[in-house]
Amino acid sequence: MHFKTVALIGRYQDSGLDAPLRKLADTLHAAGCKVLIEADTATNTGITEHTVADYQAIGQQADLAVVMGGDGTMLGAARQLAVTQVPLIGINHGRLGFITDIPLHSANDALASVLKGNFEIEERMLLESRVVRDDEIMFSGVAVNDVVLNRAGRGGMIDVRVELDGVFMYSQRADGLIVATPTGSTAYSLSANGPIVHPQLNAILLVPVAPQTLSNRPIVLPDTGTLSLTINALGRVESGASVHFDMQTWSDCQPGDRIDVRRAQHTVRFVHPTGYSIFSTLRRKLYWNHMPQPSDEVE
């Protein structure tokens, strides 16, 4: 057996999640797997008949983590487990679901097939970033999708100096800047007219959000360098700026702060059923080749 101990992680805020999670647990138990339930998931769904484990224990014991929810749930689990290299498989119980790519209605069949060895493992890069003020690190974090510098509230544009490995690129006045991984190219970056980048490319995207100069375009950079975003000035005295590391936020940015972003040392390992294709996911989620109909399934 490839996966002897399997952890279940759910978006426990969803009502009715306990039933499909229990069904997955039954599938795993029938296949001879030991089942772990992530602690917050167990508390909020009432599933306590299996071993309850926090992320540290999951990282030490699990051979596989099954994440049921949306991409946000997967992002949180991926950041927690990347350092331990526990592979993750995503069951879509959310809306769009680019990285939770298995539909809920086929989850049990897909998982049963994976347990029999019919799977592929894909590694994807993460970003690590820090906010530096007067040589002091004020905040640091990792991101699977993106690191985003943007204006806070209704303040004016942010004036940012951008460098790659200390080499000046440009100064930018914009509502914000997105630094994204290929995985994150289908997230916020996509809505800001950034390119879709194949997840196996070693690249970092830099995408402006509502730039003042319309000639400022997204640019794809090598993943071997460090991007530095220095806040020259905020648009108005009462304006503010914040940095988002996926769903983690540092909201006390000041003029002179520098945000350093580079590829993280660790990768995230995703498990897909045999036959997985990123292009199939893009066709389905972005309605390539056909217009959405009222009868199309909303995820």
Given a cut of 80, is residue 242 above it in pLDDT? Answer: yes
> Residue 138 is inside which H or E element, if any?
strand 136-143
pLDDT of residue 24: 93
Task: Tell me the Cα Rg of the chain.
Answer: 20
For range 147-176, the mean pLDDT: 90
List residues bridging with 143 in a β-sheet. 127
Q: What is the pLDDT of residues 104-139, one digit of tens each?
A: 889 999 999 999 999 999 999 999 999 999 999 999
* Residue 186 annotated in ligand binding: yes
DSSP per residue over 243-288, as a string?
EEETTEEE----TT-EEEEEEEEEEEEEEEETT--HHHHHHHHTTT
Confidence band of 237 (pLDDT split at 50, 70, 90): very low
Q: Report the C-alpha gap between 152 and 209 in whole angstroms.
A: 13
Residue position matching structure tokens 């905040």? 139
* Residue 175 annotated in ligand binding: yes
* Residue 190 annotated in ligand binding: yes
Residue 156's closest CA among 219, 231, 246, 229?
231
* Residue 191 annotated in ligand binding: yes
Q: Tokens representing 135?
A: 């040589």
For range 267-275, the mean pLDDT: 94
Tell me the domains of the chain and their CATH numbers: 5-118+274-285 (3.40.50.10330), 127-265 (2.60.200.30)
Residue position matching structure tokens 């690191």? 147
* Residue 287 annotated in ligand binding: no
Instruction: Give me the active site residues, please.
Output: 71
Structural contact between residues 278 and 199, judged by C-beta atoms closer than 8 angstroms = yes
The pTM score is 0.91
* Residue 185 annotated in ligand binding: no
Q: Are strands 146-152 and 219-222 parallel, antiparallel or unpaired?
A: unpaired
DSSP, res 298: P
For range 182-209, the mean pLDDT: 96
